[in-house]
Structure 1
């Protein structure tokens, strides 16, 4: 009987010891730290969490309003999956400055990658040796400075064809869709770059579309009797093109560094209407951002649309003002410790085709403004937006009729 009591006591002691040891291990290794403070979170629903807040057609705008109400860094939950939403230029700066390696991998591969290349594609590959090797190959052979120089003649030939096509339609007084025309130009030159995101290529036509859209929106404020008068920004752009390029040849890529206002127009279009309004990252380890704790294995959504309209860093953020990029805004960005301009993402997973995009957009817009006037069928352009795949576009693509400039007609070399 005494032996049985001793055995029971020993078992009880062992059980108590194991419980104490487990509690100690949890306290030391698994318990949340005292400064574990998640970002603020809107009211969630049982089971689905914040899913109802992400069902908007224009999710980037919905999330922008949500951030304006609750804060520029938010904690959301979709079922059991945690999400941290970033909508601030200063928080974006902190993420990419201090945590870029940690957030350079992705969670589940996006749907468009899975459809075209599967989970082993370059876009969805985790950050590591394979990703770095493939990015190096891509930049060296297709998108780097030297590679772009080697392929410059191909793009120049396509740009001439682009102009000739518009000129023929101008003679026939045909209505064209700007998006489709520029998309054809970029696709012809870029069809072989299958591992770069196709919405990046698609966005080139969108941005040209956007510029002409702003151009027409400016004419709506004028007197009806001066309906064909150019708005100030287009007049300034055409004057720069005529001054630098002249009227006897088309714009070339090598002209772009000498066309600061054209570059400003492109950047302003991308700021207001980024090709991918929201991009996603994934935290491998827990980290602190904006004074809050971001747990490991958390999806980080950066709302580029909201960041580039952050009123703390952009004066009149919803206005189309290319002049803002003629100032020392880059120096101000570094001084303010903010990352306020991110149309192509940032960091190790930023779009490797960014330089090529600026070339295409700049030369395409240059040709359209340099060689043509534009007549719009609608008195007022429908300014509604739509997200196609992951790209921001116009609900009703802009259609207009090119009119070849009769003064100092262009003579192609």
Structure 2
């Protein structure tokens, strides 16, 4: 009897195994997007080159607007069209609401304690709401406008000094300094001189280190046989930058906590972003209780995302104006007619400067600060009718979409006038999927208003106070700046802007 039961059990296992095997063998293979053949182990890594968004654009010209690639052992789908971006940002948004994690992003985000790389969920929603209502809301930005004004004046004085001495300046370095100082001081409330000025400089250098390492390709993130190895030395550098940043943040937070306990200076200035986050940290009734790691992670997000991207956009905007003197002159005439020459441009003037706004929009179209919007599929989904299995990386190639000749006439030409046409007066906040400089949907950039604020006014002051040209060649003709893109997460220029600014107002106006 026992033998019969045993054989019956074996028969059942065999039948079930056969049925399961058949089902597996006959399961429908996913309808993945097309793509080129890859190599064993590394997949398509060899095809990416030093500037991935340009490589993706070249591959899509042969295989279509949606391509499938393998980065080592990771599967990747790249979206190169507005229609595909709509599927990611709207149609199947919840399936693509998370960002992929690398060793650098996990380290710098304190294991998802920050905001930029936090999983979509209650904590992320809370911080997003806090960003929009308090941290980066209009009331906070207005209260901290004196910091931005002080840094603009410092920039004008540095450029005026160079113009007076007739010496070449590294203008890119000055633009990087002003945007970094603005962000760091708005976050921490630190002064730009004395001991605190030294900490601002240290934070500026660390933010640069974070941007360089988080944007670098780390082979061990993609090739499974290299997991656990630091073949490029990147992990060691990431750990070092993180350790130094953490130590700096501890000093800044401790200083802030001591100031809050004693009341020293707290009533003499508006609350900075760190004040607001410490208020939430100490609030027992807060919807979500923040930790020290949450604050550090968020501060690091703001330092890196808010400064390098804005500096890069300013560089590209000024470069285009130098190479297009007629556009520079038209913008100057607009500023002179609206603002005059007796005072410097203020933030309140920007709504009355439509051509200036068009220049910024065109700059963000040709040179998006974040050329690739990265996502990861948290469940099976579809893009343009193709299957995107769960755990697939999804990159929206903003750089490529912004140059689609099917939508943009003369897509490689710098033509701000296109945005003066009511039909093309696009909102930069991603409501139109063929123009998404700050992303779209739930995970669009919460700092877009601050970035635009800094971009518009700083660029306006540069145009108002100085005449810009690259120089004159041996043939007596004006030279043009080299517009080659460099390496990095934020698409910097390969070569800095080196020139002698020429002051056009004597004396230069003050605020």
User: Is residue 2:384 matched to residue 1:391?
Assistant: no
Q: In the aligned structure 1, how far is the partner of 2:116 from the partner of 2:314? A: 26
Write the distance in 1 (CA, Å) between the matches of 2:134 and 2:356. Answer: 28
Distance 1:98 1:208, change over 3 A: same
Match of 2:481 among 381, 395, 412: 381
| Residues 384 and 394, structure 1, Cα contact 8 Å, conserved in 2 | yes
1:223 alignment counterpart: none
- How far apart, in 2, do the equivalents of 1:288 and 1:118 lie? 29
For 1:37 and 1:65, the matched residues in 2 are separated by 22
1:290 aligned to which of 367, 380, 384: 384
CA distance in 2, matches of 1:123, 1:32: 37
In 2, Cα distance between the equivalents of 1:129 and 1:292?
A: 30
How many residues get paired? 390
1:42 aligns with 2:68: no
Instruction: Provide the rounded CA distance (Å) in 2 between the counterparts of 1:12 and 1:204.
Output: 68
> CA separation of 1:376/1:92 partners in 2, compared to 1, >3 Å: closer, same or farther?
same
Q: CA deviation at 1:8?
A: 6.4
| CA drift at 1:177 | 2.0
Match of 2:181 among 179, 188, 205: 188
Q: Which runs of 5+ in 2 are unaligned?
A: 188-298, 473-478
The within-5 A match list for 1:56-75 is: 56-75=49-68
1:273-352 to structure 2, matched below 5 A, reads 273-329=367-423, 339-352=433-446
Distance 1:331 1:90 in 2: 20
- 8 Å contact 1:386–1:395 — kept in the other structure? yes
Within 2, Cα distance between the matches of 1:310 and 1:291?
A: 20
Map 1:76-225 → 2, pairs under 5 A: 76-109=69-102, 111=104, 114-115=107-108, 117-191=110-184, 192=187, 193-196=299-302, 198-218=304-324
Sort the Cα spacing of 1:32 and 1:243 in 2 relative to 1 into closer, same or farther, 3 A.
Answer: farther
Per-residue CA distance 1:203-251 (angstroms, 9 max, x = gap): 2222222223223323xxxxxxxxxxxx221111011101111111111
Equivalent residue of 2:31, what SS? coil
Show structure 1 runs of 5+ residues with no match: 219-230
> 1:123, 1:197 within 8 Å by CA — same for their partners in 2?
no
CA 1:32–1:107 in 2, change beyond 3 Å: closer, same or farther?
A: farther
* Structure showing the higher strand proportion among its residues: 1
| 2:332 aligned residue | 238
Residues 151-188 of structure 1, C-alpha deviations (whole Å, 9 max, x = no match): 12221232222222222222122322222212222222
Work out the CA distance in 1 between the residues paired with 2:414 and 2:124.
37
Q: Is the 8 A contact 2:371 2:397 kept in 1?
A: yes
Q: 1:360 to 1:298 in 2, by over 3 A?
A: same
* Secondary structure in 2 matching 1:68: helix
The structural deviation recorded for 1:14 is 1.5
Mapped partners of 1:117, 1:176: distance in 2: 38
Residues 110, 124 of structure 1: 8 Å contact kept: no
Q: Residues 330 and 295 from structure 1, CA distance in 2 versus in 1: closer, same or farther, beyond 3 angstroms?
A: farther
Distance 1:411 1:44 in 2: 60
**CA distance change for structure 1 residues 298 and 320 in 2, over 3 Å: closer, same or farther?**
same
Contact 1:271–1:341 (CA<8 Å) still a contact in 2? yes
**Is 1:18 aligned with 2:20?**
no
| Equivalent residues of 1:113, 1:121 under 8 A apart | no
Provide the rounded CA distance (Å) in 1 between the counterparts of 2:20 and 2:181. 63
- CA displacement at 1:333 relative to structure 2: 9.2
TM-score (norm 1): 0.87
Equivalent in the alignment of 1:401: 500
| Kept after mapping to 1: 8 A contact 2:373/2:439 | yes
2:353 maps to 1:259: yes
Distance 1:151 1:333 in 2: 25
Secondary structure at 2:179 match in 1? helix
User: 1:376 Cα shift?
Assistant: 2.4
Q: For residues 259 and 113 of structure 1, do their structure 2 counterparts lie closer, same or farther at Cα, with a shift above 3 Å needed?
A: farther
Q: Counterparts of 1:131 and 1:162 in 2: how far apart (Å)? A: 36
Per residue, is there more helix in 1 or in 2? 2
CA contact (8 A) 1:333 1:339 kept: no
- Compared with structure 1, are the counterparts of its residues 14 and 105 closer, same or farther at alpha carbon in structure 2 (3 Å cutoff)? same
**Is contact 1:178-1:205 (8 Å) kept?**
no
The runs of 4+ residues in structure 1 deviating greater than 3 Å are 3-9, 20-24, 30-34, 115-119, 329-334
